[in-house]
A and B are shown apart, each in its own frame.
Chain A
């Protein structure tokens, strides 16, 4: 895992460094000192590159793995790595796409019910009751408590 982290840091640093050449730098007070908009990100990019190299050298050549790494390896054996991502992310992304399309009530209702099911709840009545409670209480809190207009859904508006 340390090798991957080192590679990501190295790649990120290099990527950021390259991207800074694309900045459109205009004349300003910042330029008087020689510190234009790209210099500070370049300093950080260099730090990321150096840290990435240090981690790679430590892991590959000196064979040093962090204490945290060992602890994580031990704890991961008790949990199912990736399981959370697989269960939550499709639902979250689906909700984010559906939210402006079908509106608050339908998207939130479906998301809450699906989340309850995915997290292990199997009692349908309880799922339905909790979904209704969460959807209504959140609506009241945001609509009337914080005066936020939640999306009604583009689909329903275009049909009307």
Chain B
């Protein structure tokens, strides 16, 4: 324990603390803006992390992830529009509370619950990540391939829409990752004679185009008016007592959040709704849920904030991102030459402890920052959409340009913006593409090493590797499961009719 504290002290100085604070503030602001959210925040920040050291850049990104996960609750409570999909469950009780004149109470409860959930997730991460990474040290290419494909398949199958489209998106991500020079033979692939493509597609152009530009295009088409907040919102200190009076709800919801977060592809939306359902079922005031029950706000916010810790666990310990935001953060680390996973744990254990410490500090700071800056966050909601869209677009363009100082990256930005827009309109999820792009090099390298080691006898080799075999059985189950479920539904419908 003392060594962990010493590592945290070594890696988290005043500079990193500044970036955590900036991250939490920016994340909360972006999270509060309808249509933005932590994904947009992390995406827009990635280009600027090139100018920071790896720990500082991760401090900024983790802060944004944590702040963004909480920020959605502000707009959900005040205007009935969740800033992020994660806050959709929070809206069920927070908005009715605001409508009955308890807006300050609703937002304070969301802040306290997010703080508790985040800290809980941080503690679990601090305890579990090193143990899981130690276990994963013996993993070879077969296990790495199995885990990477599990992550990708889970996210593709559990994304909104059909499994087939999710898998298509993941395969497209894997394909885009092959553009450029082949790492084994040096052969140029899909570069079409364009020199800028020999080094591969720029991660920032792909990311910002897919998520931010396509979101701006969707926003331009929506007719949602800018919010008008007239009520004065203040942090209500009496809500802190709910930490004692409703401790079971806080603890249970946080635990659900962490457990759900660890499973690739499930994420904060599912954890919040699951936690809400359980909290409602166990509450003596069931009837109040959906009409402004404080327990509902606590359950959803504690769960979705704890999910952030759970989602980081597989990325830091196994090198497999648990959700798209974490995949983006992993991409940011890879740019710095830091490859998360068991090997990173072995060679850079103090740095890993520093990162875990950053997460815990960020989670802890959410409460004082929320307390002090709540009125500022509320005012942000009143910014006209035209100014916001223009500012974000400018940030997208110049952030992308700043990465390599190449005009070609801006052209790629528009190409991926169009691709993201077309995918959204076609109901094809974007997250599997990003995860496929990040995991692509790991998948290809593991597959080719495995082919060499196994001498072509792939399945025979797997029988001697139980962990890898389990991974492949799980992948098959995830692929066949939805088909069987569909067949069962069709039969049930036929019987009924």
Give A residues with C-beta under 8 Å from B: 1-2, 4-5, 9, 12, 16, 19-20, 23-26, 28-38, 40-41, 44-45, 47-48, 51-52, 54-55, 58, 64, 66-69, 71-72, 76, 78-85, 87-89, 92-93, 95-96, 99-100, 108, 111-112, 115-116, 119-121, 130, 134, 138, 142, 146, 148-149
Contact = CB atoms under 8 A, between A and B. Distances in A.
Given A29-B452, A48-B175, A138-B394, 20 more contacts: A1-B425, A1-B427, A2-B427, A5-B168, A5-B427, A25-B187, A33-B456, A34-B451, A44-B178, A45-B175, A68-B165, A68-B427, A69-B427, A80-B221, A84-B421, A89-B418, A92-B397, A115-B390, A119-B390, A149-B405
B410 A79 contact: no
Contacts of A115: 386, 389-390, 393
B410 A5 contact: no
Contacts of A32: 452
Interface of B: 48, 51, 160-162, 164-165, 167-168, 171-172, 174-175, 178, 182, 184-190, 213, 216-223, 384-387, 389-391, 393-394, 397-398, 401-402, 405, 407, 410-411, 414, 417-418, 421, 425-428, 444, 447-448, 451-452, 455-456, 486
B414 A4 contact: no
A108 B491 CA distance: 59
Contacts of A92: 393, 397, 414, 417
* Interface SS of chain A: helix
Contacts of B186: 26, 28
A68 B160 contact: yes
A89 B165 CA distance: 26
B7 to A, nearest CB: 30
* Interface SS of chain B: helix
B427 A25 contact: no
Nearest to A79: B221
Contact of A58 (B164, B410, B418, B426): B164
B423 to A, nearest CB: 9
Contacts of B426: 1-2, 4-5
11 contacts: A33-B455, A33-B456, A37-B182, A44-B175, A78-B222, A84-B217, A84-B218, A88-B216, A88-B220, A92-B393, A92-B417
A45 B94 CA distance: 47
Contact of A36 (B185, B391, B421): B185
A95 to B, nearest CB: 7
Given A58-B164, A85-B418, A142 B398 contact: yes
A44 B174 contact: yes
Contacts of A34: 451, 456
B387 A121 contact: yes
Given A30-B185, A99-B407, A68 B164 contact: no
B51 to A, nearest CB: 5
B220 A116 contact: no
A55 to B, nearest CB: 5
Given A84-B421, A95-B397, A146-B51, A55 B387 contact: no
B161 A69 contact: yes
Given A108-B394, A130-B390, A54 B414 contact: no
Given A4-B426, A119-B389, A44 B187 contact: no
Contacts of B456: 33-34
Contacts of A44: 171, 174-175, 178
Given A92-B414, A121-B384, A30 B182 contact: yes
Nearest to B426: A5
Given A37-B189, A96-B411, A55 B165 contact: yes
A118 to B, nearest CB: 8
